[in-house]
């Protein structure tokens, strides 16, 4: 196992010396390819954006309040139960909605929007249908939905777009007069001829979550408006330029003002009115259902079961206030931001930036981008999507850091070159290096020098830095770099390789110093001290003696050093 570790360390050290810092460039190039493939084929980053968007929207502190002028009349389970005794199970006779609408119009609401598709005739109550149709014809503020079926069914339909009031050509003279579209229209002529129709289709994203609302669809040169778009046009609101809007949710389900259909209906038919008679005056009234048994619940960013009628209300609210969310989406922004973060991280690793400082900068920068996204979606209608790019940058950073740590360990570990455990014939070689400069060397410069020495060395060695943070006499040892080798005594091939390694470092020192960009004319002073370690004696004492001897030898060769006197003791060749 020890031999295997030695060989692995040597192999990794050789790879590191061969690649130098080019590994980081190769890794960045590989991730660049992955980013391009993901943007074009896999869309993993898009899915991450959606999940992050859901979390941030759900966790907002400053969410916009629902419009107080939007009221939802809810056909809930309580209404179904209360009305069942007199009108039976759902669907109720259309007379119920005729009476409700007639009483509601007496309060002069701004708009009455049905989120209920009256698609078929009530064959058992034709008079009921006729009554409801008459009530609708007497209004000018009622809106009704129609359902857009899949385009694959268009050829089976007999409905042409120009047969539907309110549908116009998307471009002048561009509409195909012979085209047919598959739709389910309201049964009532008064609703069809009013021109106040719109689709109420809700289209979730690929993961089944509703985040957007489609304001219109283009088909065969014709524009099919949604209910929110038709309502906005009739009420004079500014229409958004986009086909889809990213919904700016007002909160969790039931954030809007809700009233129970049965409660309002009962009060309307009562002589003793208990509800305000101007309750719906100048209001946008949406009649829909939250009853689970009617299956109008959708998964949204806010909840797994969000009432469809409230999704419609949110879309109308967003269009009215022009505060739907905006996000810089698409493949190009995703690619640009991802590659920017990857290659900035690459540059830091390639230039041997101070790792401790870079780790902090990188961590804070990634957290800062997420915080910026969160602040943006709280204080504005813009969502800055950095999720995918941050993930790629973290992926790169993790691999690069593992590589850096692994190579450091391979280069720094005190591997005994050919030394067996417990052997007494171990040789040590110590090379202290001192850089004389006009200004004190910083921590980052010393780390950079250490890294260059590690990459220059070709044999197992240890490179350590003595920082100038000690007090008293120990401060004299600051800013000193010490390289050490241990190898088997008597093995000439190991000794030769260690000596060649020391010579290689010595020759490279001038270029290393030049790359540090130090002021003035800095010089490097070094020496090589050798001795034998006795495995039978305490090694810590022998290492301290060897280190002290190496420092004395270094001091003796410094240009401004005091000459060694004849009676000055010199280190013994053996400890």
Which pLDDT score, from 0 to 100, does residue 477 have? 56
pLDDT over 50 (residue 429): yes
The chain-wide mean pLDDT, for the chain, equals 87
Which pLDDT score, from 0 to 100, does residue 408 have? 64
pLDDT over 60 (residue 427): yes
pLDDT, mean of residues 139-167: 96
Which pLDDT score, from 0 to 100, does residue 20 have? 64
Which pLDDT score, from 0 to 100, does residue 403 have? 85
Which pLDDT score, from 0 to 100, does residue 54 have? 93
More confident site: 397 or 534? 397
- In this structure, of 54-58, 199-203, 420-424, 479-483, the range with the lowest mean pLDDT score is 420-424
Which pLDDT score, from 0 to 100, does residue 442 have? 80
Q: Which helix (DSSP H) or strand (DSSP E) does residue 104 occupy?
A: helix 94-105
- Choose from 71-85, 351-365, 423-437, 440-454 the range with maximum mean pLDDT: 71-85
More confident site: 35 or 15? 35
CA torsion angle 243 246 250 252 (round to 10): 120
Q: Say whether 430 sits in a helix, a strand or coil.
A: strand
Which pLDDT score, from 0 to 100, does residue 1 have? 56
pLDDT, mean of residues 230-252: 96
pLDDT, mean of residues 459-482: 68
Which pLDDT score, from 0 to 100, does residue 501 have? 92
Under the banding of pLDDT at 50, 70 and 90, the label for residue 435 is confident
More confident site: 215 or 438? 215
Task: Find the length of the chain.
Answer: 575
Which pLDDT score, from 0 to 100, does residue 476 have? 53
Which pLDDT score, from 0 to 100, does residue 206 have? 87
More confident site: 363 or 355? 363
Under the banding of pLDDT at 50, 70 and 90, the label for residue 569 is very low
More confident site: 276 or 470? 276
More confident site: 404 or 150? 150
For the stretch 297-314, pLDDT in tens is: 999 999 999 999 999 999
Which pLDDT score, from 0 to 100, does residue 488 have? 77
Contact assessment for residue 199 and residue 205, using Cβ atoms and an 8 Å cutoff: no
Q: Degrees (nearest 5) of the Cα angle 212, 218, 224?
A: 80
d(CA 512, CA 524): 10
- Choose from 17-21, 29-33, 362-366 the range with maximum mean pLDDT: 29-33
Domains in the chain with CATH codes: 2-59+327-411 (no CATH), 70-322 (no CATH), 415-557 (3.30.70.1120)
pLDDT over 50 (residue 85): yes
Which pLDDT score, from 0 to 100, does residue 554 have? 87
pLDDT, mean of residues 154-167: 94
CA torsion angle 121 125 127 132 (round to 10): -60
pLDDT, mean of residues 429-438: 89
Pairing between β-strand 284-288 and β-strand 480-488 as defined by DSSP bridges: unpaired
Q: Kindly report the three-state secondary structure assignment for every residue of 493-537.
A: HHHHHHHHHHHHHHHHHHHHHHHCCCCCCCEEEECCEEEEECCCC
DSSP string, 19-84: HTTHHHHHHHHHHHHHHHHIIIII-HHHHHHHHHHHHHHHT-SSPPPPPTTEEEEE--HHHHHHHH
268: how many CB neighbours lie within 10 A of its CB? Answer: 17
Cis bond upstream, residue 91 (ω within 30): yes
Percent of the chain with pLDDT over 70: 88
For the stretch 386-423, pLDDT in tens is: 989 999 999 999 999 988 877 666 554 434 455 554 45
Percent of the chain with pLDDT over 90: 61
Which pLDDT score, from 0 to 100, does residue 173 have? 83
Backbone angles phi, psi at 125, to 5 degrees: -140, 65
Which pLDDT score, from 0 to 100, does residue 575 have? 42
Which pLDDT score, from 0 to 100, does residue 193 have? 95
d(CA 211, CA 482): 61
d(CA 228, CA 113): 10
């Amino acid at each position: 196992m020890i031999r295997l570790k030695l060989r692995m360390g040597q192999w990794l050290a050789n790879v590191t010396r061969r690649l130098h810092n080019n590994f980081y460039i190769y890794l960045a190039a590989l991730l660049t390819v992955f980013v391009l493939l993901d943007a074009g084929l896999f869309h993993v980053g898009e899915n991450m954006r959606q999940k992050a968007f859901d979390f941030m929207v759900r966790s907002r502190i400053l969410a916009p309040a629902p419009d107080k002028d939007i009221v939802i009349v809810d056909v809930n389970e309580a209404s179904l139960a209360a009305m069942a005794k007199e009108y039976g199970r759902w669907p109720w006779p259309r007379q119920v909605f005729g009476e409700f609408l007639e009483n509601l119009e007496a309060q002069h609401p701004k708009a009455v929007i049905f989120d209920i598709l009256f698609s078929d005739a009530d064959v058992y109550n034709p008079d009921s249908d006729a009554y409801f149709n008459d009530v609708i014809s007497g209004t000018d503020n009622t809106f009704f939905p129609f359902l857009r079926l899949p385009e694959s069914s268009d050829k089976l339909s007999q409905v042409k777009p120009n047969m539907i009031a309110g549908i116009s050509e998307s471009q002048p003279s561009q509409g195909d007069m012979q085209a047919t579209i598959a739709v389910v229209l309201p049964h009532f002529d008064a609703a069809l001829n009013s021109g106040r129709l719109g689709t109420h289709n809700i289209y979730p994203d690929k993961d089944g979550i509703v985040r957007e609302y489609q304001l219109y669809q283009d088909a065969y040169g014709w524009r099919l408006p949604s209910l929110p778009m038709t309502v906005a046009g009739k009420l004079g609101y500014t229409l958004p330029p986009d086909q889809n809007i990213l919904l700016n949710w007002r909160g969790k389900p039931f954030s809007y003002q809700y009233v129970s259909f049965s409660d309002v209906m009962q009060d309307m038919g009562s002589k003793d009115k208990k509800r305000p008679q101007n309750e719906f005056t100048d209001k946008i009234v949406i009649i829909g259902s939250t009853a689970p048994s009617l299956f109008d619940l959708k998964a949204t960013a806010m909840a797994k079961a969000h009432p469809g009628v409230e999704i419609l209300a949110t879309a109308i609210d967003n269009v009215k206030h022009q505060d739907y969310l905006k996000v810089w989406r698409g493949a190009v922004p995703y690619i640009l931001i991802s590659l920017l973060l990857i290659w900035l991280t690459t540059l830091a690793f390639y230039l041997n930036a101070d790792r401790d400082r870079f780790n902090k900068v990188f961590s804070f920068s990634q957290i800062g981008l997420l915080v910026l996204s969160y602040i943006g979606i709280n204080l504005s209608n813009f969502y800055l999507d950095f999720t995918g790019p941050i993930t790629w940058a973290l992926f790169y950073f993790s691999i690069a850091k593992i590589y850096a740590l692994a190579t450091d360990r391979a280069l720094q570990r005190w591997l005994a070159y050919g030394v067996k455990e417990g052997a007494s014939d171990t040789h040590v070689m110590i090379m202290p290096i001192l850089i004389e400069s006009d200004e004190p060397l910083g921590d980052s410069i010393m780390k950079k020098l250490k890294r260059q020495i590690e990459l220059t060395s070709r044999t197992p060695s240890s490179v350590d830095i003595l920082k100038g943070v000690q007090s008293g006499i120990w401060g004299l040892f600051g800013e000193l770099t010490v390289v050490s080798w241990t190898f088997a005594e008597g093995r000439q091939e190991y000794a030769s390789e260690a000596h060649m390694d020391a010579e290689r470092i010595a020759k490279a020192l001038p270029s290393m110093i030049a790359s540090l960009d130090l002021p003035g004319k800095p010089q490097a002073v070094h020496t090589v001290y050798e001795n034998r370690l006795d495995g039978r004696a305490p090694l810590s004492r022998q290492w301290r003696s060897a280190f002290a001897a190496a420092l004395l030898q270094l001091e003796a060769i410094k240009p401004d050093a005091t000459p060694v006197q004849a009676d000055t003791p010199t280190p013994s060749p053996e400890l």
